[in-house]
Chain A
Amino acid sequence: MTLFPSPIFLTLAALLTLLFTGLAGAGVVGRRPSLASFFFTLLSLESLAIALSGLLPLVTTSDTRLILPGGIPGLSFHLRLDPLSGFFLLLLGGASAGVLLYSAGYTKNEAPEKKAQFLAKTTVFLFFTGGVFLAADVYSFMLFWEIMAVASFFLILSGENTEGVRRASYLTLLLAHGGSMLIVTAFALLATRELPSGSLTMASFSFEALKMNHLSSGEALLVSLLFLLGFGAKAGVVPLHVWLPLAHPAAPAPASALLSGVMLKAAIYGLIRALFDLVGLPQLAPSFGILLLVTGAFMALFGILHAILQSDTKTLLAYSSIENIGLILLGTGLGILYLKTGHPLAGTLALCAALYHALNHAFFKALLFLGAGTMIHATGETNLNRMGGLFKKMPVSGALVLIAVLSISGIPPTNGFVSEWLLLQSTLQARDLLGTIQRSAVLFGAAILVLASALAAMGFLKFFGVGYLGQPRSDGARAAHECSLFERLGMGGLAMGSLFLGLFPSLVLGEILKAVSPLTSTTLPSPSGAYGWAWLLPLPPAGPSTSPLFLLLLLVILTLPVLWLVLGTEGKKRRLSIPWGCGYRDSYRRSQATAESFAQPIRHFFPVFFSMKRHLPSPDDPDPVFLLSVEDPHWPLLYRPLFRLFVAIAEGAERVRSGRISIYLIYSFTTLILLLSVLRWH
């Protein structure tokens, strides 16, 4: 090992190279816009280097630390690259490599200064997100976390400068900071419960020291809850998710791909690190596992139902991110529940499934956002109802999006199927659990999981069917054209990643296991025998098995000859004719299925999830208006009353502000007296 620098050096070097290339690129591109593609390609390669440097601690199961001078007095920068950090760096590097390559094509027609800004914002965002994965003390973690949040604010702002975009980015920042406050509070609580107690110094804010906490069970639950809410604000945990469906559509496509693919995962990383590593598995309560599981299940259902209802391309994807984060939380909660009730094998499997889904989601959701970007660029429309027929105009990018669509719908042999399969298998281990409440919670989770996955197929049939299939629904869609080579390459890279994750699940699971088993101190038995890599057999030897690779092979072996027999032979007579449009030749284009027609049965079947306002005109109404507005119920029920309350409090507080200096002096004086008396009383 002495020949090689330690992995953390390599990672740090890769991250710094990315940052400096990006900043240098931003400087150069402003003056020489033609170099933008070069810089984006270079950055994409450097992202791959980050991914590889993240793979290194997984393959070698190394755990390297580094203490850099700097930081605040008494607490220098602690950095640590363990397999868990490595896994998330792999996710970050892999997803951003595709996104950056795509950006070279996407920003082609932007003004030079916009390109330069985008280069700078993306690399700063990626660098500090990478920093979050490496940080090993509270100060550097929060520093990186906050800069990541601010960078995401600017990434969202790089879209069009409209009222809506500004509101979305402001709300994002607001909720992120609210979350940060909770995270800091949780860290502080942990630090005050360290051994030996009573000696709180700056050094006790390193993660190593935080691990030595001795929380009581009540305190552990409180701290876990604070972490859940704090990181949840950034991960889009319902009801703190309201920024997400506003922010993702506001940002340009590559930025939303990074926000959804990478930043949401940073919040998941924070939660897993805090719960398993800092609070510590022994301190966690099984009831917290149940809470996480139920929250995740609710989010999954809520997210996908709202996704089906959206007709805006990116809002649909944003709500589906809530679903997928829900699935990840469901797996995490399941893991905690199993681990705390003495089923380490099942718990490890559930946690692996959660991380696998996080990795998959980073790839296919980034791909979907990039695909949405090409749809929007090609048609000039954002609403699915004004697209249509794009598959014929954009066959390559359409086929790549189709891979992601199948994947997010959990259809074999794609990667989304593999992680949902693993999640399902881990819910089935519930038969070994004791206690009706725990079993019912897992059962509830399983039932919602399968429902959400079937609904996802419906939602994404709508996405693909209305957007890509059928006839063009607007002039923009009629004039659509295939996207640039860079865009196709970037999307192609992500699609290849998705396919690899789906077809070689054993290899991927093996690496994820290395990130999980230090947290659970358990490892899954590894499948043995010939072609072990082609099978997914998480609980050998009697457990269930599946092999997406063989399934794909079988399908290809059968489909190709049939295809050839039916279509390939020259002798078969074939002619074209007009499709049946109920007797109309062309006007059937206007009676195509719309995004709303998919949503209608869902709206009727799950009314409690929506806040709907409907106006149906009466038969004799001279001026008939049909009106339907569907809203996230959290706005009318939670946020707007909350905003009104804050405004009322602020207006009440206005009254103490009289503008007379003598009054203000009295205020200061009283405050001083109060503080002194408090100190005295202590």
Chain B
Amino acid sequence: MALASSFHGSLAIAISLLQMAFVLFLAPLLYGWIGTVRAILQNRSPAGILQPWRNLVRLFRKEMILPEGHSPLFLAVPPLFFSIMAVAALLVPFLGTSPPLAPVADAVTLVGLFSLARFSMAMAAMDLGTPFGDMGGRREMMVAFLTEPATLMILFTVSLWSGSTSIPSILTSFSKGPLPFHPSLLIAAMAFILVFLGENARLPIDNPSTHLELTMIHEAMLLEYSGPLLALMEWGSMQKLLLYLLLGIDFFAPAGIPRTFALSGLLEGGILLLGKLFILGALLALIESLFAKLRIFRVPEFTALAYLLSTLGFLLHFVLEG
């Protein structure tokens, strides 16, 4: 119903496709940008921001080597994982504060969608019963059992101003003029950074560029994939990273996101958005260059900190700002 009221058929479809295309195209570039900054910071010569795109194209062309004894689940998960992220791209506002399909899922459902992606990826990892796959799936859940509640608590905190977990209404409540300083938002933002690192398998939780046996989480889950299936998984993960950054921008730096989908606003907002992603990507590379990877046993402490911070943010709103 909300669908019908704000947009009409073809326009809604056009905007949705534009959003999806934007995320699909930009996600590998962002990955490339982060890699470039990391390389520069670490005194290596960068491979350029197009490198992830080149990798994807190469993977899509390659033959598929499937492990013996896989079940249909193993084949079905990469397309599902990829599609979940593409659907999520329709739900997160970034070109305008209320994407046409936003009523389909509020913030809680969005987290649920990510949880579906994680669960299916872990299942695919455990499908063969290889030591690495099992280890990756298990560790992924070990990270997630605290980051997922932390994400939800952060979303609850930011939804307290609008009283609704619908993402457009959260954004609208933030855009009613300049926000005064809110301790709860500050704490929520801190928690969000921790959650972001944990959920996207970045340092200090997981090193995206290693295949070291004892430490890998995310890569361990993908070990048996090759060719196009691996490309789908990688592309999906890149989208997830971008979507998390976009969510962070929505909640903690929403300035400049246009209210309506007009062409001029779209351009202006788009450039501003690219600038924010540019800075955030560089910051992420900086964080990753400054910190060493945590011992796997200490990961729950890190994620517990995120959970406690997010709960504290929620509480602070009631105590100080209510």
1/0 per position for A562-599, CB-CB distance to B under 8 A?
Answer: 11001100001111111111100000110111000110
1/0 per position for B128-158, CB-CB distance to A under 8 A?
Answer: 1111101101100110111011001100100
A513 contacts the other chain (Cβ, under 8 Å)?
no
CA distance A532 to B67 in the complex (A): 46
A428 contacts the other chain (Cβ, under 8 Å)?
yes
Query: What class of interface size applies to chain B in its complex with A?
Result: 35 or more
CA distance A527 to B103 in the complex (A): 13
How near does chain B come to A116, taking the closest CB pair, in angstroms?
40
CA distance A466 to B138 in the complex (A): 11
Q: Give the residue of A428, A439, A572 whose beta carbon is less than 8 angstroms from that of B63.
A: A572
A451 contacts the other chain (Cβ, under 8 Å)?
yes
**Residue pair B322, A431 in contact (C-beta under 8 Å):** yes
Residues on the B chain within 8 Å of A580, using CB:
130, 132, 223-224
CA distance A362 to B159 in the complex (A): 32
**Residue pair A443, B318 in contact (C-beta under 8 Å):** yes
**Residue pair A601, B109 in contact (C-beta under 8 Å):** no
How near does chain B come to A540, taking the closest CB pair, in angstroms?
9
B165 contacts the other chain (Cβ, under 8 Å)?
yes
**Residue pair A574, B63 in contact (C-beta under 8 Å):** yes
Name the segment of A54-62, A232-240, A288-296, A547-555 touching the other chain. A547-555
Residues B41-67 near A (CB distance < 8 A): 63-67
**Residue pair B131, A588 in contact (C-beta under 8 Å):** yes
Residues on the B chain within 8 Å of A447, using CB:
149, 153, 307, 311, 314
Given contacts A406-B116, A550-B104, contact A578 B86 (CB under 8 A): no
Residues on the B chain within 8 Å of A436, using CB:
318-319
**Residue pair A554, B63 in contact (C-beta under 8 Å):** no
1/0 per position for A168-208, CB-CB distance to B under 8 A?
Answer: 00000000000000000000000000000000000000000
CA distance A450 to B310 in the complex (A): 12
Name the segment of B77-85, B201-209, B249-257 touching the other chain. B77-85
The secondary structure that dominates the A interface is helix
CA distance A528 to B4 in the complex (A): 12
CA distance A388 to B2 in the complex (A): 46
How near does chain A come to B205, taking the closest CB pair, in angstroms?
14
Name the segment of B118-126, B174-182, B263-271, B279-287 touching the other chain. B118-126
How near does chain B come to A581, taking the closest CB pair, in angstroms?
6
**Residue pair B63, A471 in contact (C-beta under 8 Å):** no
How near does chain A come to B317, taking the closest CB pair, in angstroms?
8
Residues on the B chain within 8 Å of A152, using CB:
none
B247 contacts the other chain (Cβ, under 8 Å)?
no
Residues on the B chain within 8 Å of A412, using CB:
105, 109, 112-113, 116
> B interface vs A, CB < 8 Å?
1-2, 4-5, 63-69, 71-73, 75-76, 78-80, 82-84, 86-87, 90, 101, 103-109, 112-113, 115-116, 118-119, 122-123, 126-132, 134-135, 137-138, 141-142, 144-146, 148-149, 152-153, 156, 159-160, 163-166, 169, 213, 223-224, 228-229, 232, 297, 300, 304, 307, 311, 314-315, 318-319, 322
Residues on the B chain within 8 Å of A550, using CB:
101, 104
Given contacts A464-B123, A588-B130, contact A562 B322 (CB under 8 A): no
**Residue pair A581, B131 in contact (C-beta under 8 Å):** yes
**Residue pair B68, A579 in contact (C-beta under 8 Å):** yes
Name the segment of A31-39, A452-460, A660-668 touching the other chain. A452-460
**Residue pair B141, A410 in contact (C-beta under 8 Å):** no
**Residue pair A579, B224 in contact (C-beta under 8 Å):** yes
**Residue pair B129, A589 in contact (C-beta under 8 Å):** yes
Residues on the A chain within 8 Å of B146, using CB:
451, 454
1/0 per position for A421-438, CB-CB distance to B under 8 A?
Answer: 100110010110000100
> Which residue on chain A has the smallest CB distance to residue B163?
A431
Residues on the A chain within 8 Å of B122, using CB:
461, 465
A529 contacts the other chain (Cβ, under 8 Å)?
yes
Given contacts A450-B148, A530-B1, contact A593 B104 (CB under 8 A): no
A123 contacts the other chain (Cβ, under 8 Å)?
no
**Residue pair B145, A578 in contact (C-beta under 8 Å):** no
How near does chain A come to B81, taking the closest CB pair, in angstroms?
9
> Which residue on chain B has the smallest CB distance to residue A446?
B156
Besides A440-B318, A454-B148, A545-B104, 18 new A-B residue pairs in contact (Cβ under 8 A), listed by A number: A391-B71, A424-B152, A430-B318, A447-B311, A450-B149, A465-B126, A469-B73, A469-B129, A554-B101, A562-B79, A562-B83, A573-B64, A574-B66, A576-B65, A579-B67, A579-B224, A582-B131, A592-B131
Q: What number of residue pairs across chains A and B have CB atoms under 8 A from each other? A: 254
Q: Give the residue of B2, B148, B300, B307 whose beta carbon is less than 8 angstroms from that of A601.
A: B300
**Residue pair A558, B86 in contact (C-beta under 8 Å):** yes
How near does chain A come to B230, taking the closest CB pair, in angstroms?
11
Residues on the B chain within 8 Å of A440, using CB:
315, 318
Q: Give the residue of B1, B5, B149, B322 whose beta carbon is less than 8 angstroms from that of A532.
A: B1
How near does chain A come to B111, taking the closest CB pair, in angstroms?
9
How near does chain B come to A303, taking the closest CB pair, in angstroms?
15
Query: What class of interface size applies to chain A in its complex with B?
Result: 35 or more
How near does chain B come to A578, taking the closest CB pair, in angstroms?
6
Q: Give the residue of A392, A566, A589, A605 whose beta carbon is less than 8 angstroms from that of B232.
A: A566
Residues on the A chain within 8 Å of B137, using CB:
461, 465, 593
**Residue pair A566, B228 in contact (C-beta under 8 Å):** yes
A417 contacts the other chain (Cβ, under 8 Å)?
yes
**Residue pair B307, A451 in contact (C-beta under 8 Å):** yes
> Which residue on chain B has the smallest CB distance to residue A456?
B145
**Residue pair B1, A555 in contact (C-beta under 8 Å):** no
Given contacts A529-B4, A580-B130, contact A544 B149 (CB under 8 A): no
CA distance A79 to B119 in the complex (A): 47
Residues on the B chain within 8 Å of A417, using CB:
109, 112
> Which residue on chain A has the smallest CB distance to residue B150?
A450
Residues on the A chain within 8 Å of B149, using CB:
447, 450-451, 453-454
Residues on the B chain within 8 Å of A388, using CB:
129
How near does chain B come to A546, taking the closest CB pair, in angstroms?
5
**Residue pair A572, B109 in contact (C-beta under 8 Å):** no
**Residue pair B116, A411 in contact (C-beta under 8 Å):** yes
> Which residue on chain B has the smallest CB distance to residue A417?
B112
Given contacts A411-B112, A424-B152, A529-B1, contact A469 B123 (CB under 8 A): yes
Q: List 12 A-B contacts (CB under 8 A).
A: A392-B71, A409-B115, A431-B322, A450-B152, A466-B126, A469-B123, A546-B109, A566-B78, A573-B63, A582-B132, A597-B134, A598-B141
> Which residue on chain A has the smallest CB distance to residue B161?
A431
A681 contacts the other chain (Cβ, under 8 Å)?
no
Residues on the A chain within 8 Å of B103, using CB:
535, 545, 547
> Which residue on chain A has the smallest CB distance to residue B109?
A546
Residues on the B chain within 8 Å of A577, using CB:
65-68
CA distance A421 to B155 in the complex (A): 13
Residues A239-292 near B (CB distance < 8 A): none
Residues on the A chain within 8 Å of B69, using CB:
392, 471, 579
**Residue pair A457, B128 in contact (C-beta under 8 Å):** no
> Which residue on chain B has the smallest CB distance to residue A563?
B79
CA distance A593 to B123 in the complex (A): 12
A344 contacts the other chain (Cβ, under 8 Å)?
no
**Residue pair B130, A581 in contact (C-beta under 8 Å):** yes
Residues on the A chain within 8 Å of B68, using CB:
576-579
CA distance A604 to B213 in the complex (A): 23
CA distance A352 to B95 in the complex (A): 37
Residues on the A chain within 8 Å of B315, using CB:
440, 443
CA distance A575 to B227 in the complex (A): 11
> Which residue on chain A has the smallest CB distance to residue B322?
A431
> Which residue on chain A has the smallest CB distance to residue B86?
A558
CA distance A512 to B140 in the complex (A): 37
Residues on the B chain within 8 Å of A4, using CB:
none
CA distance A591 to B131 in the complex (A): 6
> Which residue on chain A has the smallest CB distance to residue B231?
A566
CA distance A579 to B125 in the complex (A): 12
CA distance A577 to B137 in the complex (A): 21
A518 contacts the other chain (Cβ, under 8 Å)?
no
> Which residue on chain B has the smallest CB distance to residue A581?
B130
A64 contacts the other chain (Cβ, under 8 Å)?
no
**Residue pair B126, A470 in contact (C-beta under 8 Å):** yes
CA distance A528 to B1 in the complex (A): 8
> Which residue on chain A has the smallest CB distance to residue B80?
A559
